[in-house]
Amino acid sequence: MEPTPPEASPGADYGLRRGILSPLETLAQSVSTVAPTTTPAATIPLVCALAGNGTWLAYVLATVAIFLVALCIARYARHSASPGSLYTYASMTLPRWLSATVAWSLLLAYVATGSSVIGGFYHYANLLLRDATGHVLSAVLLSLLVTGVSIWSAYRDVKISARLMLWIEAASVSVIVIVIALVLFRHGWHVDGDELHLRGMTGSGLRLGLVLALFSFVGFESATTLGAEAHNPLKTIPRAVIQSSVLAGAFFTVCAYAEVMGFHTVGQDLGASQAPMYVLAKIGGAPALGLLIDIGALVSLFAGTLACITAAARVLLRMAHDGLAHESFGTTHARNHTPSRAVVITGIASVLPVAVLAARGASGLDVYGWLGSLATYGFIVAYALVCVGLPRYLRQYRVFSRGAQIVPWLAAAAMLLALVGNLYPVPEGPYGKLPFIYLAYLIAGLGWFVLRARSKRAVVEESIEPSKP
């Protein structure tokens, strides 16, 4: 029998409002960061273009990999709760420079994911506006609008933000589930032979499709950033992490199977479709639902922007407390009890690259793909390092067993394979530059860490040096 760990402390509140979020509101943070509505509309067609009839298998394998990571994160979350998320866990087990790597990687991951969904937002907004009025709005204006509203919501009250994200995602996913159910019902109670036998799928296509499928899940752990604000965090946060990975995996796998099957019935190529959910809604006999899904995707992307800013601000708050960022970001609003300065700066950091790219004529889907891929590097590195540190963490709580190191190493190996899949073969165009952008950012972050450490060491040495006569 596994020994009982010592009672763990939920940690300091860092000026945040303690214990105000229910289990559902805590789960909403992870679900909204994942932004599940965007995967059937945007990501699954990209995976299908690579994996073909193996699209559902790519999502099954991605679900297994993410579930292994979720098990590791949940083990941490049972004993520790903090706004620092995975960085807090890494700081307990890894050398300082590696825990700083996790911190800066995670901050980039949340900010870049926010940028990615802002790009998706202005794409869908103009798509709907063009269909309704024949006109479009400035992409820069739309980006600033969705970011401004998200910053305001995150600045005011985390509970209002969580409830808003919960209802938005529930409504959006419900409409997609209805469409998928209609497609499956019309197809009848038999499996798609081409998908079952993986007809035409190649090993390299599956590998590359798997890497893209993993992008659908990134941010599933963001409930851990609510460690000070979730009610009974040592129970609700581990459950939210596991639930978000399992629910998202089941939803994505069913959607992948149904979308490929639905396009088979009409002889169209899902990988080349610009509006897959609208086509599926027509196949299901309810074309009006296609419009509702596009509207749901738009609103879900707003919820994703809000969730990313909420998570990034809390990571930055914890980093400031540990000297990895400027001290001013470690303060909270006196009345709202939110990390107000961190919210504003992470919101600006999210929208700035989008505004620049949009002003230069980049499409919303390009921004979604480029910055989403950049975020994936940060998430994969953070996930892998945290998984590697889990055995040492379990030894600290005297719950380590020989079997306890199997899952962490499997999870870390899965993330390493995903990283290799992102880097080789070398991506073409802007995607080939993303690894260098990530490395330059990481070097700058670690350089700040080294300079701060030397500065503090110099101050300490100066204070203990005996005064001269």
Nearest to 230 by CA among 13, 64, 469: 13
Phi-psi region of 362 (alpha: psi -120 to 50; beta: other; left: phi over 0): beta
Distance, CA of 164 to CA of 173 (rounded, Å): 14
Would you place residue 404 in the very low, low, confident or very high pLDDT band (cuts 50, 70, 90)? confident
Highest mean pLDDT among 98-112, 146-160, 319-333: 98-112
List Cα–Cα distances, 121 to 31, 147, 353, 432, in angstroms: 17, 10, 14, 24
In DSSP terms, 275 is beta-bridged to: none
Nearest to 422 by CA among 374, 455, 357: 374
Distance, CA of 353 to CA of 149 (rounded, Å): 18
pTM of the model: 0.90
Would you place residue 463 in the very low, low, confident or very high pLDDT band (cuts 50, 70, 90)? low
Distance, CA of 103 to CA of 98 (rounded, Å): 9
pLDDT at residue 1, rounded to an integer: 39
Would you place residue 275 in the very low, low, confident or very high pLDDT band (cuts 50, 70, 90)? confident
Q: Residue 299 in contact with residue 78, Cβ under 8 Å? A: no
Q: Which helix (H) or strand (E) holds 145?
A: helix 139-156
In DSSP terms, 84 is beta-bridged to: none
Distance, CA of 136 to CA of 127 (rounded, Å): 8
Q: What's 223's DSSP letter?
A: G
Nearest to 183 by CA among 286, 267, 273: 286
Q: Which residues contact 70 (CB under 8 A, 6 or more apart)?
A: 220, 221, 241, 242, 244, 245, 246
pLDDT at residue 111, rounded to an integer: 97
pLDDT at residue 334, rounded to an integer: 87
Mean pLDDT of the chain: 88
Triad 338, 342, 346: Cα angle to 5°: 125
Residue 21, SS3 per DSSP: strand
Distance, CA of 135 to CA of 148 (rounded, Å): 23
Question: Which residue reads 């067609």 in tokens?
Answer: 45
Q: Residue 114 in contact with residue 301, Cβ under 8 Å? A: no
User: Which of 212-221, 381-390, 418-427 is least confident?
Assistant: 418-427
Interval 37-61 mean pLDDT? 92
